[in-house]
Amino acid sequence: MSEQKGERQRPPQQQADQPGETKEMRPRPEDEMRHYRGSGKLADKVALVTGGDSGIGRAVAIGYAKEGADVAIVYLDEHEDARHTKELVEAEGRRCLLIAGDVGDEQFCRRAVGDAVRELGRLDILVNNAAMQFPQESLTDITTEQLMRTFHSNFFSYFWCTQAALEHMGEGAAIVNTTSVTAYRGNPTLIDYSSTKGAIVAFTRSLAVNLAKKGIRVNAVAPGPIWTPLIPASFDAEKVATFGSDQPMGRAGQPDEVAPSFVFLASADSSYITGQVLHPNGGEVING
């Protein structure tokens, strides 16, 4: 989510409210995993995905369903996007529970986990993915209100959802957190957002060590610039038009290109991997 200086790759566009809606995007993201073929890697598992209504979260939810998992989707208020994701999950023959609310509220996080377990019977995979961002040109422009809102949504929710989930998770369970390329190289206009993403990396590594003996793996994915509703809901129209064009691959990525990393980290294919971060970012070399 770096500042873009490349060529225009899509019509200039902007949305007024976060985290944004798919229907207003031109072109729409590739986030339905249409070409993905599952092989039962998550057969009869149950996953909870925050921010699962659209973008990366939608692609992850559908990817999990194609691998045989039932999915609970937590989202703010994008009901149309959430219903469409539910339809796509159910089209794969899997159950899908929609849970609307603000993950920035501790009690809602705990209630969402409880609802998922009660309705779907268990919890094997937790994907902490919900996020928001508010660009500011200067540190002094970031109010305490914005700082707290960003941390509540992007980091505290991960902490609260994980605390609640661990009451129901046992050996073989997996936690996958969404961090960002900004955690590693920073971003001059997303200081608070980048800080939450750095905290997620430390959280992932620390929790992985803490839970290793219980057989619960904890990993993360650090996407680069990905075309999701959050982008036109965050940046001005011209920046959106060139978003991602300065990456080595010359374009923004699609949610469908990120979701397989989440499938891998949730499945037995990554049984000897914990405390690590995958980097689907279009070729930007990141240390760590």
The residues carrying an active-site annotation are 193
- Cα 261 to the chain's mean position, in Å? 11
Residue 232: cis peptide before it, omega within 30 degrees of 0: no
Output helix, strand, coil percentages for the chain, rounded to the nearest 5.
40, 10, 50
Nearest to 124 by CA among 193, 182, 59, 71: 71
What whole-number distance in Å separates Cα of residue 232 and Cα of residue 24?
Answer: 9
Q: Which amino acid is at 287?
A: N
Contact indicator for 63, 42 with CB cutoff of 8 Å: no
Q: Which amino acid is at 142?
A: I
Q: What are phi and psi of 87, to 5 degrees?
A: -60, -40
